[in-house]
Amino acid sequence: MLQTVYGMPSAKIEVIPHGIPDVPFTEPDSSKAIFGFSGRPVILTFGLLSPGKGIEVMIDAMPAILRQCPDAAYVVLGATHPNLVRQQGEAYRESLVARARALGVQDNVMFLDQFVDQPTLLGFIAMCDVYVTPYLNEAQMTSGTLAYSFGLGKPVVSTPYWHASELLADGRGVLVPFGDSKAIGSEIAALLTDTTRRQSMRRRAYASSRSMIWSRTAERYIAAFEGARRGHHLRMIARHNQSISSRGAPVVPEMQTDHLMVMCDDTGLFQHAVHSVPDRAHGYCVDDNARALLLACALTAPGEERLPDALTARFAAFVQHAWNPDIQRFRNFMSFDRRWLEASGSEDSHGRTVWSLGACAHCDTSPSRRRWAADLFAEALPAVAHFSSPRAWAFALLGLDAYCTDRRDDPAANAMRLLLADRLVAALAAVETRDWVWFEEGLSYDNARLSQALIATGTASGTPHYVEAGLRSLRWLMALQTTETGGFRPVGSDTFGDRRTQPKAFDQQPLEATAAISACLAAWRADGDVHWKAYAAQAFAWFLGSNDLNVPLVDLETGSCRDGLHPDRPNENRGGESVVSYLYSLVEIRQLARANADRTAITPLHTVRA
């Protein structure tokens, strides 16, 4: 409405969800006992009674519900709207009672004519098995009771008014057509008779709603006010940056894959380059070809130009050839003459390859290749249970996140998901102190992927403590990777092997920026905090020159990316890992810009030509 009616630019709009109290996830039995509904399935609607609430439709649905759940109780909690009472007394409430009596459901529909305080309201919501908002038209900007019931982890069945359409999308609730008593009855009965589905929806709603608790909502308001206060200053910076760039408007770069094509031959993606020339001496590895397959899958997103199918098939073929069925592991390094240099690669390379297979099984454009990926994923996954590397666990979890999107009922995948997520949480608990919020005694490479894996797994499975552990560790990591001036400084490779020390500044590698971007965007999708988007944008700006050397790593015309930053100069080589890391991050930032309905303003200080 702000955009279509008032012409407000999207950059000036910040959507902050309705706040909710922070209460624990509980089962409804104890609350049912308090209110006298022990042993009965309870459906609840709360609010001031008026014709627009659609209570008639819900009453009409009760006979169908009772055929499957004879003991079900529909509780209509709330006094009649004072304006309605002033105009016609209690005629409307009496008509609803008469309607229930005419349908023979009067013993299963309870009208509680009362105003209630918040503790009482929360008690009623806690006792219900399904919350229903059967409003009759879409022009409902927000619903406090919808937010509260969602925040208490209740399955919600609702008509698609504006607030409900946004909050309950992507399987977080059930949406039914306006005025359709048959659909409402069918969906509620299905939930009441399917405990597994109902519990899964409860956990997902509760996990998704943690960003809505009042303390987080207050933080969002503070961030919005602070952003508005700084707006004039940022506009001045933007004008200055535009004067630096001869290209003019500060926009997200276009997708250029020329250098990626140069780095590939009919075997796959080369590991290394000398400057921008592929270095055949070091051959290939499954690590980089798995990353390339992940990029190919990412480029199937709306608005992106896909890689040639033959190239995607080449990456898949490399992965297939890397599989060693005799020991159920992936090989990693291959010489230029196509000889494997080992029988088995590292745990991390195996986990990363499993990740690429999960992504391919979910979103590859070829149905046949999706089936191939799913089969090899299922064959390669069990080995991860025997690994000791937290990164291998995290990579596999990211693969499971994609794989399980289409296979939610796969018992082996779901069991592995919980096993690996529990291991990461246990690793964090074993090492974490007030000053060291991490999974290991030291920092290494691809650090943010550990946090991302827990955030993604917790969000998808409806497990709040996974999400919280991921967010907590990522906040700590991003604080370490943020300079005093607000720039992004990835953990330097000179840090690897140190124990519980501040990270060293160099050497800086593209892989770390890519991991930070992905993890921060996963965090933003999990809790809605705009600071995560800012972290992701700053990490992407590192590629474009907002870094310790004020030197861009990418050539915007070819899509090549330097291999990193030394203390005194950039690494001029532009290998496979670097180009794939940059392009993958570019896809994510471009998708973020599209989601915001506006292109993110990220200006390179200057560009470099190949």
Tell me what pLDDT residue 598 has.
Answer: 44
Tell me what pLDDT residue 226 has.
Answer: 65
Task: Kindly compute the dihedral angle of the four CA atoms of residues 346, 348, 354, 355, in this order, to the nearest 10 degrees.
Answer: -160
Give the residue from 30, 76, 36 showing the smallest Cα distance to 56: 76
Give the residue from 348, 221, 332, 180 showing the smallest Cα distance to 268: 332
Q: Within this chain, do residues 295 and 202 fall inside the same structural domain, yes or no?
A: no
Structure tokens at 222: 């503070």
Q: What is the mean pLDDT of the chain?
A: 90
Tell me what pLDDT residue 138 has.
Answer: 84
Segment 101-109 shows an average pLDDT of: 96
Tell me what pLDDT residue 14 has.
Answer: 74
CATH number at residue 29: 3.40.50.2000
Tell me what pLDDT residue 228 has.
Answer: 64
Tell me: pLDDT of 247 over 70: no
Residue 283 pairs with which residues in a beta bridge? none
Tell me what pLDDT residue 244 has.
Answer: 33
Segment 3-30 shows an average pLDDT of: 81
Segment 502-506 shows an average pLDDT of: 93
Query: Can you tell me whether residue 37 is helix, strand or coil?
Result: coil
Q: 3-state secondary structure string, 222-284?
A: HHHHHHHHCHHHHHHHHHHHHHHCCCCCCCCCCCCCHHHHHCECCCCEEEEEECCEEEEEEEE
Q: Within this chain, do residues 29 and 141 fall inside the same structural domain, yes or no?
A: yes
**Cβ pair 354, 381 in contact under 8 A:** yes
How do strand 42-46 and strand 73-77 relate by DSSP bridges?
A: parallel
Tell me what pLDDT residue 12 has.
Answer: 67
Q: Which residue has the tokens 């140069």?
A: 262
Dump pLDDT digits (tens) for 334-372.
999 999 999 999 999 999 999 999 999 999 999 999 999
In single-letter form, the type of residue at position 313 comes to A
Least confident of 119-128, 139-148, 315-324, 513-522: 139-148
Least confident of 149-153, 211-215, 291-295, 560-564: 211-215
Tell me: pLDDT of 599 over 80: no
Q: Within this chain, do residues 69 and 162 fall inside the same structural domain, yes or no?
A: yes
> Domain residues for 274?
270-388
**Buried-state track 22-31, b at ≥16 Cβ within 10 A, e below 16:** eeeeeebeeb
Number of structural domains found in the chain: 2
Of 339, 359, 388, the position where a domain reaches its end is: 388
Dump pLDDT digits (tens) for 171-220.
889 999 999 999 999 999 999 999 999 998 998 888 878 878 888 788 77
> Is the residue at 265 inside a domain?
no
**Cβ pair 559, 256 in contact under 8 A:** yes
Dump pLDDT digits (tens) for 364-397.
999 999 999 999 999 999 999 999 999 999 999 9
Tell me: pLDDT of 421 over 80: yes
Which CB contacts under 8 angstroms, 24+ apart, belong to 189-197? Answer: 189/64, 189/65, 189/67, 189/68, 189/69, 191/129, 191/130, 191/155, 191/157, 192/41, 192/43, 192/65, 192/68, 192/69, 192/72, 192/129, 192/130, 193/68, 193/69
Task: Kindly report the backbone phi and psi dihedral angles of residue 140, in degrees, each rounded to the nearest multiple of 5, phi listed first.
Answer: -120, 100
- Region of residue 389 (left: phi > 0; alpha: psi -120 to 50; beta: else): beta
Give the residue from 325, 333, 342, 341 showing the smallest Cα distance to 380: 325
Tell me: pLDDT of 499 over 80: yes
> Is the residue at 413 inside a domain?
no
Peptide linkage before 107 cis (omega within 30 of 0): no
Q: Within this chain, do residues 179 and 284 fall inside the same structural domain, yes or no?
A: no
Q: Within this chain, do residues 137 and 45 fall inside the same structural domain, yes or no?
A: yes
Tell me what pLDDT residue 603 has.
Answer: 40
As to burial, measured by CB atoms within 10 angstroms (0-12 exposed, 13-18 middle, 19+ buried), residue 509 is buried
Segment 253-262 shows an average pLDDT of: 96
Tell me what pLDDT residue 107 has.
Answer: 95
Q: Within this chain, do residues 37 and 160 fall inside the same structural domain, yes or no?
A: yes
Of 195, 212, 229, the position where a domain reaches its end is: 212
For residue 132, what are the CA distances in angstroms to 75, 237, 348, 368?
10, 49, 46, 42
Q: Within this chain, do residues 205 and 75 fall inside the same structural domain, yes or no?
A: yes
Segment 445-453 shows an average pLDDT of: 97
Q: Tally the C-alpha atoms within 13 A of residue 98's C-alpha that lie toward its C-beta.
A: 6
**Cβ pair 579, 559 in contact under 8 A:** yes
Q: Within this chain, do residues 99 and 207 fall inside the same structural domain, yes or no?
A: yes
Segment 471-493 shows an average pLDDT of: 93
Tell me what pLDDT residue 15 has.
Answer: 76
> Is the residue at 34 inside a domain?
yes
Least confident of 250-264, 301-315, 422-436: 250-264
**Cβ pair 554, 581 in contact under 8 A:** no
Tell me what pLDDT residue 225 has.
Answer: 77
Tell me what pLDDT residue 595 has.
Answer: 80
Segment 209-234 shows an average pLDDT of: 70
Band of residue 581 on the pLDDT scale cut at 50, 70, 90: very high
Dump pLDDT digits (tens) for 600-610.
444 444 344 44
Q: Which helix (H) or strand (E) holds 172?
A: none
Tell me what pLDDT residue 229 has.
Answer: 60
Tell me what pLDDT residue 407 has.
Answer: 93
How do strand 156-158 and strand 174-175 relate by DSSP bridges?
A: parallel
> Is the residue at 429 inside a domain?
no
- How far apart (Å, rounded) are the C-alpha atoms in residues 66 and 384? 47
Dump pLDDT digits (tens) for 146-169.
999 999 999 999 999 988 988 888
Q: Within this chain, do residues 45 and 173 fall inside the same structural domain, yes or no?
A: yes
Count Cβ atoms below 10 Å from residue 2 Cβ, excluding itself: 12
Q: Within this chain, do residues 187 and 95 fall inside the same structural domain, yes or no?
A: yes
Of 338, 363, 388, the position where a domain reaches its end is: 388
Segment 63-83 shows an average pLDDT of: 95
Dump pLDDT digits (tens) for 23-72.
999 999 999 999 999 999 999 999 999 988 999 999 999 999 999 999 99
Tell me: pLDDT of 472 over 80: yes
Angle (CA) 514-435-471 rounded to 5° is 45
Segment 223-241 shows an average pLDDT of: 51
Tell me: pLDDT of 246 over 50: no
> Is the residue at 246 inside a domain?
no
> Is the residue at 549 inside a domain?
no
Tell me what pLDDT residue 1 has.
Answer: 62
> Is the residue at 64 inside a domain?
yes
Q: Within this chain, do residues 193 and 48 fall inside the same structural domain, yes or no?
A: yes
Q: 3-state secondary structure string, 78-110?
A: CCECHHHHHHHCCHHHHHHHHHHHHCCCCCCEE
Segment 518-542 shows an average pLDDT of: 94
Q: Within this chain, do residues 173 and 107 fall inside the same structural domain, yes or no?
A: yes
Segment 270-276 shows an average pLDDT of: 97
> Is the residue at 304 inside a domain?
yes
